Structure 1
């Protein structure tokens, strides 16, 4: 009997040990889950409200600031933000993808606390570098992906802007044939161009065009002006009377072609009307001053969070339609209606 009792005691001891082990595992799993949840939503370091002059910040730009497109707009926005918020916000122009990781590390090593990179092409370099500098915060302007506790993305809702461009183009065309010329294919680029194409097709059909045509091409460059001209020449030869361009310096060649061949252009991201208002009949300008002021203000207030992207658009008043005399009042009123939110 005593021997049997010892066996029962041993069995019960083992059962208790097993239960304790299971409970321990449950607590470990729960702890890991809670830690992950905190990591996902934890705000940026410094994570508290900061005096404007106490944070060193820089923006990396992928091209020259005279491209009359993405880089020009960002540069103007940086200058406006500097003045409005009285912040130390410098910029580094013409940062290639090949050099971007080294440039990110250089500024992080120099004590910059908030490093912004303007363009989706910087998403991978930022992800590669951010873990090495946990006390530095990174933001990708136009970024749709953010991987890391100290990485976020702020992007203009470009599909909203391309919809506005489509309303203008769809109501101006005389041939019902359109050309789209962009720099590089990417998911955000495809989304905004798909929106534009869908809308111009719909609008021209409502106007009585039976078979509207849309040609789309990528230059696979932001800088090759001659490539832009060659692509535009081909589209215009096929009947396109309106070109929609989002290609930085490549767009300058497209505008030159349109001018030579009597076609019209809808500019995008920057006020391209000023290049040649007889050819560029309208532009949907991005107010990069508003974009940078929103982003920097949110950061200084401690309200930006890692592992998160923020989309801003018509509601935040960051798009400005600009017209030449070729755009009648009727179309302008349609744009006003579209922008009421």
Structure 2
């Protein structure tokens, strides 16, 4: 009887020891994992805190397929290529500009981009109160302390268009027509004249302003007037109204050069090529400068070298243009990119 009791106790003790050993072996050793886990968490938090916060303020809607859409594409490109944390406000009226800009500054944004020179006054009123924030005016001319301007080089755009027009022209007469009288439009037309005369110093370059970005009929009428004077290559820089110049060229069977975007699809047998402006490339380039701590209060011109200005494909004209003509056009692009051609900017 006692022997049986001792055996039972012995078996119970063995069982308890076995269970304790098994439990110890299966329990995860958190002591060594915790420091590593915390270290990774700290690294992640530090990385997040270093992420550049960028706000974009727009005068119109992001889906306008034009001016505002190009800046929105720029913000998305900055998020994708630079890893920034982006935010935007669209349809900002003049009366709300200062409030919206100040709101982003108060929220701790590192970089606030206002898309249009019309934001210059509001940016300058807010900027001094937030010296650590970088304020950027697209298409502006302001450069002071923590305010800079970002410009897709309109002079280079116009220069390329003028050079191409001169290369293509058989009559020795070309035309560039702008919309409203404002610095970016005037700069493009000045560049056009410069580019055309770089190719042919004695070329007859006609320029004019219609006073409207929406009046397609007025643009067409002015383009037709120039074509009737012997112009055989035209360019319109007036947003929607630019279509009028292409329509006139199509009607009179002369050539046109697109502005801003690839416009070959508008008139495939008329638009030889287009000089495209990319705000996405320009904004990414400036974002890199800020991230690298190389920011300066100046006007940043982004052009051919930065990929912010480039030539669209020749499309159907690829086989219509003589090889030497295409080679001459492409050489102008490469010479601007390398700095061999230095496009002059007006000091007025």
Output the TM-score relative to the length of structure 1. Answer: 0.70
Please name the residue that 1:308 is paired with. Answer: 298
Cα deviation for residue 172 of structure 1 reads: 1.1
Partner of 2:266, secondary structure, is coil
Partner of 1:181, secondary structure, is strand
For residues 240 and 61 of structure 1, the distance between their equivalents in structure 2, rounded to whole angstroms, comes to 38
Please name the residue that 2:284 is paired with. Answer: 293
Please name the residue that 2:126 is paired with. Answer: 129
Give deviations 1:242-293, integer Å, cap 9, x for gaps: 2222222222333333333333221223222233322221111123332121
For residues 195 and 227 of structure 2, the distance between their equivalents in structure 1, rounded to whole angstroms, comes to 20
Contact 1:154 1:312 in 2 (8 A): yes
Aligned residues: 286
Cα deviation for residue 138 of structure 1 reads: 0.7
Contact 1:52 1:86 in 2 (8 A): no
Cα deviation for residue 96 of structure 1 reads: 5.4
**Which structure: larger Rg?**
2
| 2:322 is the alignment partner of 1:332 | no
Aligned CA distance change for structure 1 residues 171 and 99 (closer, same or farther; 3 Å): farther
For residues 61 and 224 of structure 2, the distance between their equivalents in structure 1, rounded to whole angstroms, comes to 25
How large is the Cα RMSD of the aligned pairs?
3.2
> Which stretches in structure 1 are left out of the alignment for 5+ residues?
1-48
Give deviations 1:127-169, integer Å, cap 9, x for gaps: 233234444321122333223x220122233322322222211
Question: Structure 1 residues 175-184 or 294-303, which shifts more?
Answer: 175-184
For residues 94 and 209 of structure 2, the distance between their equivalents in structure 1, rounded to whole angstroms, comes to 18
Please name the residue that 2:84 is paired with. Answer: 87
Q: Residue 284 of structure 1: which of 275, 285, 290 is its match?
A: 275
For residues 107 and 211 of structure 2, the distance between their equivalents in structure 1, rounded to whole angstroms, comes to 34
> Which stretches in structure 2 are left out of the alignment for 5+ residues?
1-45, 339-348
Output the TM-score relative to the length of structure 2. Answer: 0.69
| Higher RCO (CA-CA < 8 Å; seq separation 6+) | 1
Partner of 1:291, secondary structure, is helix
For residues 100 and 218 of structure 2, the distance between their equivalents in structure 1, rounded to whole angstroms, comes to 29
Contact 2:277 2:308 in 1 (8 A): yes
**Shift >6 Å, 4+ stretches:** none
Contact 1:286 1:318 in 2 (8 A): yes
Q: Superposed, which structure 2 residues align to 1:11-50 within 5 Å? A: none
Aligned CA distance change for structure 1 residues 254 and 94 (closer, same or farther; 3 Å): farther
For residues 150 and 311 of structure 1, the distance between their equivalents in structure 2, rounded to whole angstroms, comes to 17
